[in-house]
Amino acid sequence: MKSFATSAALALCALLTTTAAQSSIGGASCSPTLTAKNAAPSVADGYVTRLVANGLTKPRGIKFDSQGALLVVESGVGITALSLVDAGQSCLSVGSKRTVISDPDLNHGIEVSSNGSTLYASSSDVLYSWEYSPQSQTNTSEPMVLINQMAGTDHTTRTLVLSKHVPGMIVVARGSTSNLDLQAEDLGSGISQVKAFNLNNMTEPYTYTNDGLLLGWGLRNEVGIAEEPITGAIYGVENSVDELERSGQDIHQDNPGEELNFLGYLNGTATPGQGGQGVNYGYPSCFSAWNAADVPDFTGQTGQQFAIGNQNSTVNDTICASLQAPRLVFQAHMAPLDILFNEQGTAAWVTFHGSWDRTDPVGYKLSVIEFANGEPVQPSNSTTAAIDIVSNADNSKCPGGCFRPVGLAWDSQGRLFMSSDATGEIFVVLRADGNSTQTVGSNATGTLPDQAASSSGTGTAASGSATPSSVASVGGMSALAVLFGGLAFAFIAFSNIPIEIHQHIASYFEKDQDIGNYRLLCRATNDAIDADGNSFWRARFLAIFEKPSFAHSGLRLTDNKQYSDLYKKRRDILMFGLKKMGFKFGDTNREKKCLDLMLVLIKEACADTKNGDKETTYASKNLELIQTFSKKHGLLANYRGRVPSGRGPEHAFLAIKCALGPTLFGLEDPLCNDHFGFDEAQQMAYMPAIHMPIFGGSNGQTINMPWLNAQLTFWRYHFLHQHDGLLQNDFKALEACDRPRYWNTQLTQDPAPKALGRHWKGSYAFVDRDVIARIRNGHGREYHILDEMSGEQTPEPFQHICLEPRNPCDTVWPQEFEQHLKSLTPPVRKARTRAQKQGTYDGPELQSLRFDGEGYDASEDFMASGWLSQLPEQEGIPGWQRMTMMKYFVDEDTGIIDHEALWAYEGVVLPGDMMMVGRWWCPSDGDGASMYSGPFILWDVEGAKYEDGLPR
């Protein structure tokens, strides 16, 4: 531990270094001057830095185009071009900012072709290219898919490097899908690998798993990749594993080391003894020592590899030593994210993003490594190879109070630019003597700063300036420590526990991360989780999800490995959703993946239920997952930006939202006050059928999903809005069994309609006739127009109706009812094109089911009679029905129907037959555009308390 005097001296030195650097950044002539979000960076002697841009959204990869614009990948946003105003040296500022590509899936990788006319960028799954105009800073084409099938979790960046030595070749790195990903042991998995792809002879998109030139595998997360300019050697910097243990001892504070790996040459040659094209670098079994003294029972030194788990014939230190070792190692957890060579090949600049898995933060800096003859000058066991140039003055404030370096780029004048994603900033770094930053290193005109000068500005010892110190082991698996007490004598017995017991213990962990930690305890726990034919992951899948069927998922799950792969894919989507981006229109790649999973979960929901029990709410594992996902990731939140068109992916998105209607009315929903767009919903709710039909499409049986979504939004507002919802207090007072619920048997698609539950509760809204006209004309968007509700301010605010199936032969269906409802009239088919005809329903003839009913509304009894008609699947979701019903009143004395008081109902029964929404209208009060109409909602409240008929 440093003395107070030493700490004070280092702090003073840091202050002087920073002050000197600040005073030399362009002087008084630099204008405007930006202020860094956190404390000004500490800079090594002989260098200066200046903040060039701020206010960006997670800037990651950066690259200059041929006209000098800085292209920035803003993660979750897209690619932005910054035009810089250059007053010389470090006096740079942003003159203009322009969006080049708007795509929230782009997250890191970027490249520009040598002629400047092609732009490359990557999402976690796909490498795209665009035709690009550097003069106008615009993409001039639709994106072309070059490489796909790279999706994964945890490590989702796909770094790109275009080769200058082998034109047309692009290098792409793909990391692991978890901290310790055993899939990487399989060479055919494409995981934790670096590959190169020839763009010159490409005839169709490559798949990462099956195509490409393998440069290396067993590389956990090689985020930074660069081509050495003289020899063409490919180097990568690797982020190694977290929370590592060996022989039951926590060694993660200083081990394993981050790595600099030599990956060979793109022409297929390799340097003898140094590895090269296509070799195994050890992950997930072997790791490189940074502080070798802290690795139990390890006789190697810094930079050499050791095995994790129990030593056996397939995984041990001897075998690890035979695999490809790194060329250099760095302090554990510093997280190198980019590497960039100067033109002479004498120096490699590396950004260290900074640690999260360490008691004392490390990294958060830009360092340089001296090279000569295509390789590092320092030996592989060096702990001083990386020399700090720009760093945070006080790492104790990291990560929250520090800049975090990510991407690097040279401009045409040899100035080095660096992005910081955590602070949204871009810095420029250059030599204080006015020479190019490129001219450093062996045989160059400049020299690297000495170790003392480079470390004085950091205030702490770091990689490249000190030998790693031994740090006391701390927790990391606290839950397991409590479980097993950390007793050494128990560990031996524990490792001999039968595999079934280990699997049973692991099944109690809610988080997959805890399962991964448990697996690292010993060989027995590893075998229980991963070596028993993936039986654990099959059981894990079936404990969390309902058993999938081929009809719904399109997968024939015949072995445990398939269950394991499907589990990891689904858990990634459920955990990360849209990566902090909200659902909007369902048309981005990430939205589509989430919605595809929601669709499958909906169709497989209640698959484990043999006999539906309508008294049980949310019995389905899938429905519980959907509810949790919806609340966590805003699936059902309304986005106010445009009126939904209901076409393409957006129509599928709305169909899923509508099918999940019961979740919209959950009182525990944290988004219950998120009712954006009520005015649009109100306008659509009161629109007449001629302007807003419920059914349409080429088959006449396609539900108008934008209209249906608007109805649900309308009622959600009135049931849940804490201030303006007219039925909020009454709805909140309902018992759980009296509120909307999900279905309890698996959805199916049958030609015959299904009988509904007997008892239904609900409401309808109305306004005066002159008010309807104002709403339909959009006046509700200018000022709030108040609805009225059935039973409002009465002892019974909700109407109740009791429905019974009826044999259609018992009585004649009144012609007057049919004239208004068209319950039995075949839908009008409007298919004109071949595609439309192919898209029309051609299954068994859809049938109808007659029902009668009675109910009360605001203490007034009424009668009802109507039909249910089965609808074809909507966007792949089965179980929708059309409901038409005439609500009428009968004279108590004469038994004659009052034909002047007919109320027609048409609506959609949502999948599962537990809720319906639709339109009511008065047949005797206008038709066409002048129809007097409004919205209604009903939901099933089948329960023991209603067994005796209508509640009174």
CA-to-CA separations, 927 to 787, 903, 907, 921, in angstroms, rounded: 21, 13, 18, 9
User: Is residue 20 over pLDDT 60?
Assistant: no
Residue 109: what pLDDT?
97
Residue 613: what pLDDT?
45
Contact 622, 545 (CB under 8 A): yes
Q: Looking at residues 320-347, what average pLDDT do you find?
A: 96
0.75 exceeded by pTM? no
The closest of 245, 358, 239 to 294, measured between CA atoms, is 245
Q: Looking at residues 601-621, what average pLDDT do you find?
A: 68
DSSP 3-state of 803: strand
- Angle ∠(174,175,178) on CA atoms, nearest 5: 145
Separation between Cα atoms, residue 280 and residue 275, nearest integer Å: 9
Q: Looking at residues 461-485, what average pLDDT do you find?
A: 34
Residue 647: what pLDDT?
56
> Token digits for 152?
């994964």
Residue/partner pairs of 629-634 with CB below 8 Å, 24 or more apart: 629/574, 629/577, 629/594, 629/598, 630/660, 630/663, 631/663, 631/669, 631/670, 631/671, 632/577, 633/577, 633/578, 633/582, 633/583, 633/594, 634/582, 634/583, 634/671
Q: Looking at residues 96-116, what average pLDDT do you find?
A: 96
> 650-670, pLDDT tens digit by residue?
888 899 999 998 888 875 544
Contacts of 570 by beta carbon, 8 Å cutoff, 6+ apart = 545, 597
DSSP 526-580: HIIIIISTTHHHHHHHHHHSPPP-HHHHS----SHHHHHHHHHHHHHHHHHTTTT
User: Is residue 183 over pLDDT 80?
Assistant: yes
CA-to-CA separations, 559 to 506, 530, 543, 555, 891, in angstroms, rounded: 21, 14, 16, 11, 67
> 657-711, pLDDT tens digit by residue?
999 988 888 755 444 444 457 888 899 999 999 999 999 887 789 999 999 999 9
- Binning pLDDT at 50, 70 and 90, where does residue 23 land? very low
Higher pLDDT, 743 or 25: 743
Contacts of 209 by beta carbon, 8 Å cutoff, 6+ apart = 149, 188, 189, 190
End-to-end CA distance of the chain: 79
Q: Is 534 left (phi over 0), alpha (psi -120 to 50) or beta?
A: left
φ/ψ (deg, to 5) at 588? -90, 160
Residue 547: what pLDDT?
85
Percent of the chain with pLDDT over 70: 80
Higher pLDDT, 952 or 890: 890
The CATH topology of domain 46-431 is: Neuraminidase (2.120.10)
Residue 274: what pLDDT?
54
Beta bridge partners of residue 855, listed in sequence order = 801, 862
- Binning pLDDT at 50, 70 and 90, where does residue 641 land? very low
> 491-550, pLDDT tens digit by residue?
556 667 888 888 889 888 888 878 877 877 777 888 888 777 778 988 999 899 988 876
The closest of 444, 452, 437 to 387, measured between CA atoms, is 452
> 732-786, pLDDT tens digit by residue?
888 888 889 888 888 988 878 888 999 999 999 999 988 999 999 887 666 778 8
Average pLDDT, rounded, for the chain: 83
User: Is residue 5 over pLDDT 50?
Assistant: no
| Lowest-confidence segment of 214-228, 335-349, 468-482, 847-861 by average pLDDT | 468-482
> Token digits for 519?
């697996």
> 255-299, pLDDT tens digit by residue?
999 999 999 999 766 554 455 678 999 999 999 999 999 999 999
How do the domains of the chain map onto residue ranges?
Answer: 46-431, 675-831+843-951
